[in-house]
Amino acid sequence: MYKALFVAAVLAIAGFPAQAAADILVARVNISTQTMTVTMDGRVIHRWPVSTARRGYVTPRGNWRPKRLHRMWYSSKYENSPMPYSVFYNGGYAIHGTGAVRSLGRPASHGCVRLTVANAARFYSLVREVGPSNTRIIVAN
């Protein structure tokens, strides 16, 4: 965590825009390849298969900062489905773990971005380490 804060401070002092200083951790979700690439300080540290929205549902495109984190969340909309290591970024949309690992790599969700539980736990820990204000989530085609 201290490294992330140090990097942000150095970038800010050097005159880089506030957004550049704040984007220490970036998660890029690619809808067409059903992957999430995580970069830290500009270096790729993870590339994982994901599942995004299946036919009839939508995973919104755009870019956000995490709004809230829950080690375990239960969906009030979808039959109390467990959502371990949830990182909510846009209303009810989150990056979270799933037990439906056979579906990873293809659209299968109601709109959230699903990862293996281990990968979701890793991402959740990274967001906690650097802080939501230093994290950006980008969802694009």
Q: What share of the chain is helix, strand, coil (3-state, %, to 5)?
A: 25, 40, 35
Looking at the structure, give the CATH architecture of the domain made up of residues 23-140: Beta Barrel (2.40)
**DSSP conformational letter for 112:** S
> Which residue, among 129, 128, 139, 135, has the nearest Cα to 21 in the 3D structure?
135
pLDDT at 49 over 70: yes
Condensed to tens digits (0 to 9), the pLDDT of residues 89-112 reads 999 999 999 999 999 999 999 999
Report the C-alpha gap between 125 and 118 in whole angstroms.
11
User: pLDDT digit string (tens) for 56-76?
Assistant: 999 999 999 999 999 999 999
Q: What is the model's pLDDT at position 13?
A: 52
Tell me, yes or no, if the pTM score tops 0.95: no
- Alpha carbon distance, N-terminus to C-terminus of the chain: 31
Q: Supply the pLDDT for residue 34.
A: 98
pLDDT for position 116: 98
Domain range summary for the chain, segments of one domain joined by + = 23-140
Instruction: State pLDDT tens for residues 3-46.
Output: 555 555 554 554 444 444 559 999 999 999 999 999 999 999 99
Pairing between β-strand 35-40 and β-strand 25-30 as defined by DSSP bridges: antiparallel
pLDDT given for residue 46 in this prediction: 98
DSSP state of 109: B
Q: What is the pLDDT of residue 9?
A: 53
Beta carbons within 8 Å of 23's beta carbon, 6+ residues apart: 134, 135, 136
Mean pLDDT score of the chain: 90
- The residue type of 14 is A
